[in-house]
Amino acid sequence: MTETNRIRNFCVVAHIDHGKSTLADRILELTHAVSARDMRDQYLDRMDLERERGITIKAQAVRLTHKPDGTPYVLNLIDTPGHVDFTYEVSRSLAACEGAVLLVDAAQGIEAQTLANFHLARDAGLAIIPALNKIDLPQADPEETAREVGELVGWDPQDVLRISAKTGRGVAELLQQVIELVPAPHGQREDPLRALVFDSTFDAYRGVVAYVRVKDGVLPSRAKIHLIAAHADSDAEECGVFAPEATPVPELGPGEVGYLVTGMKDVHLAKVGDTVTTAGKQRAPEALPGYREPKPMVWSGLYPAEGGDYTALRDALDKLKLNDAAMQYEPEMSKALGFGFRCGFLGLLHMDIVKERLEREFGLELIATAPNVEFHVIRGSEVIVVHNPSEMPAPGTYDHVEEPVVLATIVTPSTYLGAVLELCQARRGELIDITYLSPERAEVHYRLPLAEIIFDFFDQLKSKTRGYASLDYEPVGYERADLVRVDILLHGEPVDAFSAVVHRGKAAQYGRQLVERLRELIPRQLFDVAIQAAIGSRIVARETVKAKRKDVLAKCYGGDITRKRKLLEQQKKGKARLRRVGRVDVPQEAFIAALRVDQRAGQKAGQKAGQRP
């Protein structure tokens, strides 16, 4: 156990690609936590998926020993997820710290996530140490960036550290500032145990492992523990620290950060934000503040691409959920796609990650329906929660509908401000304010329906600003909206998997776009196939896939017969990949098309201006 006054708990917060992982690598080297031989890039980002995507999903904490003046300090570096989907997880990681390094790319300047993270860190009461990264880059503008950052955090620009995480320049000075400016944790050994769970994971051999920060009291290596929010007791098996590999310790004292092998088998009993205390009489009377149930924001239907893999999908989801407490799923049945699951995710990235893991780790081929938000249908005093657009009640059977709204922060070069405002207005946005970080860069705040954001907003924003704008947002509750369900009918029959809930003012246009797209994707059949978009009983768009007239091999004589038979067998295999919906054969790509209706329009616009980043 280390005296609390020698402990510094801190994290590094940054916009994506501003160099957080590289800085962590340099800090590991500087403190000799990893030998030169074992060093590899992005050391802390363990999972393959994380390394490839260049982002961090699971927070990790490493314990480092640093002796700048001969006396050792324990520095706990707590890694935080860097994506808007995981804002709550970020806030819990911040709650495990006393200080934060706000890392800003000296060439890019402040971005939306810089702002969002800064506000989160400040609200959590952390000491904030700004630092400019990538000063070795020729396009870096340290003076201007220091001015922006200084203004944001209230520092004299001259005092803002200039570093290069790549070369290691300035990293020792940064650690010195951490020691000097980040307060030591306080907390009493004698108090009842309270440790914050800021992440948890499921290990196939050890069960649920929680990442914890001890706030008060002492967490012994083996103890009867109690999780306050989960109302669950367990016999903990081990605690330890990451140095950076997992190393057991006899106990974790106040202010210390480490891991706890909880002895539990269900990750949902050790959710992020929960408080670990001692079971029995010494139990802490109150939980640490700030716990929140993980709440999916985005829903999508996942179906096996080839029929019959339902059981495999269910087993895979069961396994995946073991170390992803935020994902939810419930079985559902689609007339078009058969048996599958309606899954809830924290956001689009979370959805992509889960889908990719299902495909990569479990070898599944999946069809995902277009993502949608959770709608609240109000009928008198009753609130009907709708996760699947096809379950939206018929118009006239309810009072009104509410949808989730977010507060979005967009940082953009001033030259693209017009385009950004235009985009937000087109997406039913409500302007809150515009402030200028500098004459060249503006910070825009908008209230936007989340449904508009998950429908291709980010791609559009990037394409309209040559990739320069950045986006962050946080949910701010539900608001009433004039929403309608758009149904797609194939040959007169509604296809549930294509239904979407759209704002009334855009419903007809949405219907037209989807119908046009489907006409391109649905192969000709033996009869004319009408593709219609309907709002209620009103048809708003119609296209026809004309009946196929010719499908025969013109010549078939002695030498052709074997070849012809093989061609037919090929054709049969192709047909097997189509989904029969009513009487119509629909290719699997068509179900993905609904996701891309707007993206195509976006790509066209981007190509025209030659600005696709």
Partner 1 sequence: MTAGLYVHVPFCLTRCGYCDFNAYAGLGHLAARYVEALEAEAGLWAEEWRGERFGSVFLGGGTPTTLDHADLARLLRSLRERFDIEPGAEVTIEANPDTVDAAKLAALREAGYTRLSMGAQSFDQRVLDALERVHQPASVRRAFAAARTAGHTNVNLDLIYGANGETLTSWHWTLEEAIALRPEHVSAYALTIEPATPLGRKVQVGLVPGPEPDLQADMFDLACQRMGDADYRHYEVSNWALPGFECKHNLGYWRKQPYLGLGAGAHSYLDGRRWWNLRPPTEYLDAVEHGRRPVGGEECLTPQDERLEEIFLKLRILEGVPVTSVAADSATTFLEQGLVARRDGHLVPTERGMLLLNELVLALVSE
Residues interacting with partner 1, by CB under 8 A? 526-527, 546, 548-559, 561-562, 564-565, 568-569, 571-572, 575
Contacts with 154 (C-beta within 8 Å, 6 or more apart), sequence order: none
* Cα atoms in the Cβ-side hemisphere of radius 13 Å centred on 131: 28
Q: How many Å apart are CA 104 and CA 438, to the nearest integer?
A: 15
Smallest distance, partner 1 to C-beta of residue 553, A: 7
Smallest distance, partner 1 to C-beta of residue 367, A: 23
Integer angstrom CA distances of residue 318 from 244, 299, 321, 476: 30, 17, 5, 31
Q: How many Å apart are CA 263 and CA 207, to the nearest integer?
A: 6
- Residue 196, strand partner residues: 213, 275
Integer angstrom CA distances of residue 98 from 179, 244, 464, 479: 11, 20, 39, 36
DSSP structural state of residue 169: B
Give 245 or 528: the residue with its C-beta nearer to partner 1.
528
Give 553 or 609: the residue with its C-beta nearer to partner 1.
553
User: Cis bond leading into 244, ω under 30°?
Assistant: yes
Smallest distance, partner 1 to C-beta of residue 527, A: 7
In terms of DSSP bridges, do strands 7-14 and 99-105 run parallel, antiparallel, or are they unpaired? parallel
Smallest distance, partner 1 to C-beta of residue 562, A: 6
Smallest distance, partner 1 to C-beta of residue 37, A: 53
Give 281 or 550: the residue with its C-beta nearer to partner 1.
550
Give 385 or 554: the residue with its C-beta nearer to partner 1.
554
Smallest distance, partner 1 to C-beta of residue 554, A: 4
Give 39 or 556: the residue with its C-beta nearer to partner 1.
556
Smallest distance, partner 1 to C-beta of residue 545, A: 13
Sheet holding 223-227, edge to edge: 232-236, 223-227, 275-278, 194-203, 207-216, 257-261, 238-242, 246-249
> To the nearest 10°, the Cα dihedral for 440, 445, 449, 455?
20
Smallest distance, partner 1 to C-beta of residue 552, A: 4
DSSP character string of 467-490: T--EEEEEEEEEEEE-EEEEEEEE
Smallest distance, partner 1 to C-beta of residue 518, A: 20
Give 431 or 567: the residue with its C-beta nearer to partner 1.
567
Give the type of residue at 357: R
Integer angstrom CA distances of residue 493 from 131, 239, 336, 528, 579: 60, 59, 10, 14, 14
Give 186 or 580: the residue with its C-beta nearer to partner 1.
580
Quick one: which H or E segment has residue 71?
none
Give 204 or 552: the residue with its C-beta nearer to partner 1.
552
Give 519 or 564: the residue with its C-beta nearer to partner 1.
564
